[in-house]
């Protein structure tokens, strides 16, 4: 079967760094996506990893280890607007499957 796990909720402080982990077991692997979703809105694309290693994009970075079935999203210099849900999604053989998302709370 296919399974994507990520923590349900996390809390961090404004200005700090937070790491959101994602582990996956899927039939086939053609890449891993991270999305941000604010309450009441559609998901928006953050990052894509298909090779092992770290991809940096401004305050956000995403890491992938295919051998471990593991990824993380790293958010630096947290801002209040980063309060949202973060969705890990894996592109398997023929479709994209989503995890349940991690709700990130930012404290002032």
Partner 1 sequence: DAEITQSPRHKITETGRQVTLACHQTWNHNNMFWYRQDLGHGLRLIHYSYGVQDTNKGEVSDGYSVSRSNTEDLPLTLESAASSQTSVYFCASWAGRSTDTQYFGPGTRLTVL
Report the interface residues with partner 1, using CB under 8 A.
30-31, 33, 41-45, 48, 50, 87, 89, 91, 94-101
Query: In whole angstroms, how close is the CB of 82 to partner 1 at the nearest point?
Result: 19
Query: In whole angstroms, how close is the CB of 16 to partner 1 at the nearest point?
Result: 26
Query: In whole angstroms, how close is the CB of 1 to partner 1 at the nearest point?
Result: 10
Task: Please give the Cα distance from 90 to 86 (Å, whole number).
Answer: 13
**Please, which residues bridge with residue 65 across strands?**
70
Our CB check for partner 1 shows the closer of 42 and 80 to be 42
Our CB check for partner 1 shows the closer of 95 and 108 to be 95
Task: Please give the Cα distance from 24 to 70 (Å, whole number).
Answer: 6
Output the CA–CA distances (angstroms, integers) from residue 48 to 69, 89, 91, in the order listed. Answer: 15, 9, 10
């Amino acid at each position: 079967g296919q399974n994507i796990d990520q923590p349900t909720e996390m809390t961090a402080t404004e200005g700090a760094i937070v790491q959101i982990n994602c582990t996956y077991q899927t039939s086939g692997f053609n890449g891993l996506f991270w999305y941000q979703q604010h309450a009441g809105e559609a998901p928006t694309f953050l990052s894509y990893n298909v090779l092992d290693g770290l991809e940096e994009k401004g305050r956000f970075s995403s890491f992938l280890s295919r051998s471990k079935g593991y990824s993380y999203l790293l958010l630096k210099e947290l801002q209040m607007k980063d309060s949202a849900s973060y969705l890990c999604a894996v592109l398997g053989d023929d479709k994209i499957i989503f995890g349940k998302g991690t709700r990130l709370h930012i404290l002032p």
